[in-house]
C-alpha cells in the first residue's frame, strides 16, 4: 500500500489516500514514486512549488509529474537494484 499524496506533502492515512502500488513493476513503481515525493517535498519547502500544486500533480498523474520535475523516464535498473540507485545524482534533487 502507498499514499497517493504522501504524508510529507500533507497526505493522510485515510483509506481514500491509500492505494496499492508495487515495488516490482517496471519501469514505473513505488521506488520511482518515492523519488518524486522527495523532490516535490524539497521544492515545496524551498518555495519553488506551492503545496496545493504538488498535491494535485502527484494525485492526478504522478508519472507526468515525475517527467516534469525529474526526467522523462526513470533510470534503468536490474532486479538487484536498491532504491538508492534510483535517486538521481543531481544535486538539484535536494534543492
Beta strands in 31-81 (DSSP E): none
Q: For the chain, how many helices (H) and strands (E)?
A: 2, 2
Neighbours of 95 (CB within 10 A): 11
Residue 39: pLDDT band with limits 50, 70, 90? very high
* Domain boundaries defined on the chain: 2-94
What's phi and psi for 19, nearest 5 deg? -155, 155
pLDDT in tens, 45-84: 999 999 999 999 999 999 999 999 999 999 876 444 444 4
Residue 33 is predicted with a pLDDT of 97
Closest by CA to 69, choosing from 40, 32, 33, is 40
Amino acid at each position: 500500500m502507498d499514499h497517493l499524496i504522501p504524508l510529507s506533502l500533507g497526505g493522510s492515512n485515510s483509506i481514500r489516500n491509500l492505494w496499492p502500488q508495487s515495488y516490482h513493476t517496471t519501469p514505473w513503481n513505488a521506488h520511482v514514486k518515492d523519488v518524486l515525493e522527495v523532490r516535490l517535498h524539497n521544492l515545496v519547502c524551498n518555495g519553488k512549488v506551492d503545496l496545493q500544486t504538488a498535491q494535485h500533480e502527484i494525485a492526478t498523474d504522478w508519472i507526468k509529474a515525475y517527467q516534469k520535475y525529474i526526467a522523462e523516464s526513470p533510470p534503468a535498473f536490474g532486479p538487484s537494484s536498491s532504491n538508492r540507485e534510483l535517486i538521481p545524482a543531481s544535486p538539484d534533487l535536494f534543492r
